[in-house]
Amino acid sequence: MIIKNTEIEDTFAEAFTMTAARLIVTAANTRWAKVAATTATGYATSVIGCDAEAGIEKEIAPVDSPDGRPGYSLLFFAFSRDALEKALVNRIGQCVLTCPTTACFNGLSIDPTRALRIGGNLRFFGDGWQISKKIEEKRYWRIPVMDGEFVCEDRFGTVKGVAGGNFLILGKSQLATLQAAEKAIEAIQHLTDAITPFPGGLVRSGSKIGSRYKKLRASTNDAYCPTLKGQVKTVLPTNVSCVYEIVIDGTSLLSVEDAMRVGIRAACGTEIVRISAGNYEGKLGAYKIFLRSLF
């Protein structure tokens, strides 16, 4: 299969089931809402080394936000509800509660058997001065702080999300490959229900399972490193000198597939030799997303 002179390799991306939550962070203005959103989703690229995978889903206009103020929608992913709850309590407590004028709301429907208690855990920071407010069956906690009060919803809903969807962009030069990857990220950002959790949406350090150093769970994917051609069993064509990976997490398999399709189309071009994907021969992930089937 060829799209705009770029080969789509006959391979698949291997993705995993994870628990996902959506947060709505609002503030007095867009500036402080974005500060809280970017801080809360920091250091959340891969559960290999982070407590969660996270990213900004979209900006929310005041007319669409829970309290009529500007905000951002954030998606968070972890391997279990317990792990996700712990990560969210820590991140909201350290990055949203502390940020001027913010409030935090649940962005998913709530199944009581799968809900996370967020505001209900953060309320103790109020040291007894916190107040509970119930509106239309939803409970909120009002925690006194030095610029007024921090409002946080008591419980947050979860869904079974899909993480680890990915594709690899193999290009003739670093500049051309980076530009193609940037186009892919820009296209994906127009979608909802999916995020690209790595810095700016891109991964330069793709990994493989294991290492010659026993303590490491993962190490550099040497088969895709251009500087190691001739020293390892490379999979790179001779005219490829740069590879970037885009990893996608979504609230459903469909949302991940949509993001991969849009991103791949945007990345293809004359300077991009091949689009490939990372997998573990189907041994680890619950989902196989075949690149050619996307089209």
Q: What is the pLDDT of residues 202-214, one digit of tens each?
A: 999 999 988 999 8
User: Model's pTM, two decimal places?
Assistant: 0.95
Instruction: Give the pLDDT band of residue 245 (cuts 50, 70, 90).
Output: very high
Across 41-79, b (16+ Cβ under 10 Å) vs e yields beebbbbeeebbbbbbbbebeeeebbeebbbbbbbbbbe
Both 135 and 29 in a single domain?
yes
Instruction: Give the pLDDT band of residue 283 (cuts 50, 70, 90).
Output: confident
Both 191 and 286 in a single domain?
yes
Main-chain phi, psi angles of 137, to 5 degrees: 70, 0
The 10 Å Cβ neighbour count of residue 200 is 9
Rounded CA-CA distance 176/254 in Å is 29
Both 148 and 183 in a single domain?
no
Both 51 and 118 in a single domain?
yes
Query: Of 108, 128, 159, which residue is a domain's last?
Result: 159
Rounded CA-CA distance 138/22 in Å is 16
Both 10 and 34 in a single domain?
no
Query: Of 128, 159, 190, which residue is a domain's last?
Result: 159
Structure token digits, residue 105: 């709301």
CB-based contact 266:258 (threshold 8 Å): no
Q: Identify the pLDDT of residue 282.
A: 81
Rounded CA-CA distance 109/156 in Å is 8
Output the domain CATH number for residue 125: 3.30.70.520
Both 123 and 219 in a single domain?
no
Q: What are the CA-CA distances from residue 53 to residues 74, 109, 250, 267 (Å)?
A: 11, 21, 11, 24
Rounded CA-CA distance 268/180 in Å is 7
Compute the average pLDDT of residues 105-133: 97
Strands 148-153 and 103-106: parallel
Q: Residues 6 or more apart from 235 whose CB is under 8 A from it?
A: 223, 224, 276
Q: Identify the pLDDT of residue 280.
A: 85
> Residue 284: is its pLDDT beyond 90?
no
Both 259 and 230 in a single domain?
yes
Domain extent at residue 191: 2-14+161-294
Q: Residues 6 or more apart from 192 whose CB is under 8 A from it?
A: 57, 58, 73, 255
Q: Identify the pLDDT of residue 285.
A: 87
Percent of the chain with pLDDT over 70: 100
Rounded CA-CA distance 237/74 in Å is 38
- Across the chain, mean pLDDT equals 97
Both 126 and 200 in a single domain?
no
Both 10 and 59 in a single domain?
no
Total domain count for the chain? 2
Both 35 and 154 in a single domain?
yes
Rounded CA-CA distance 61/82 in Å is 31
Closest by Cα among 97, 203, 221, 111 to 155: 111
Torsion of CA 241, 167, 178, 226, to 10 degrees: -20
Residue bearing tokens 């900004």? 56
Instruction: Give the pLDDT band of residue 224 (cuts 50, 70, 90).
Output: very high
Both 149 and 167 in a single domain?
no
> Residue 150: is its pLDDT beyond 90?
yes
State the DSSP H helix or E strand holding residue 40, giving kind and residue range, or none if neither.
helix 30-40
Both 173 and 223 in a single domain?
yes
Query: Of 116, 133, 159, which residue is a domain's last?
Result: 159
